[in-house]
Structure 1
Amino acid sequence: MPKQRYTIRQRLIKECEKGFFEAAKRYAEHQSTGPFGIHELEMYYNALQYLYQNRYLAPRSRLPFSTDLRDRVLEEYSAHHFKSIMHITPAQFASLVELISRSSQFRPKNDNFPQAPVEIQLKVALFRLGTKGTAVEKVAWVFGVS
């Protein structure tokens, strides 16, 4: 079985939980001798509360991207260059868009979550399927989608 990988946040939670339980045990053992360890318990409690309430420990920022390839550049390429990227000719692409645009699978099911136009969905899918081993993040960056 492969070794389990933990995120930094998961490791911190694990360590804080362990520390909290050890501090609680010490506190229970020495409670009769005075206020031993209450501050340590509070420290672990506050750390755990923060970790449980915050999914990300560092601020997140959106990566810049461009839609030029998707919207402008591909249309300017010759049929040969278009085919080298999309693996079908522009005429085949247009036919395929016409064919699948009638399908309900390419229309949004909920107005609160709009879908990209069929042309964009098809470009992304063809590029991803035609490039062996290209990471999803790179495809999203190249085509300006998330």
Structure 2
Amino acid sequence: MISKPVERVLMGLAALLLLALMAVTGVDVVGRYLLNAPLSGAFELTELLLGALVFVALPLVSRAGAHVEVDLLTELLPRSVNRVLGVFAALVSAAVLGFFAWRLIVLGMGQLADGSRSVSLDVPFAPFAFLGAAACILSAIYGLKWGQKDD
């Protein structure tokens, strides 16, 4: 299906994004409270990094089958029904993630055409939309594979 190197790249990106978030926050806090000079654009940078982190981590969560689930009655149902429900949930999730990916591609194309950028740091938005679309597609694929696995 999807190789281990893709997972390693995603984990590495997630780690780098998390480190960048911590660095931005640390520099901003030290600058703001000790030097009376906050990091310019820290709020905007935090928003962008956090959004990227969420999208990079999404396929990893899907691959691990670690999304939040509420299973109030599943223990009362036969194993075969639970398998069918698992496949159904995976199909619905894949469809929703596919829809999100499509809309993010449309959004990214619009942002690319318009040249949309962030206000303070002038960072282009389109790459973030494309990252989100790719993450949603990977998550859908991983989720479908996870939905088919045996208990």
The answer to whether the superposition gives a TM-score over 0.5 is no
For the pair shown, the structure with the greater C-alpha radius of gyration is 1
State TM-score, norm by structure 2: 0.32
The structure showing larger relative contact order (alpha-carbon pairs under 8 Å, at least 6 residues apart) is: 2
Greater helix proportion: 2
State TM-score, norm by structure 1: 0.33
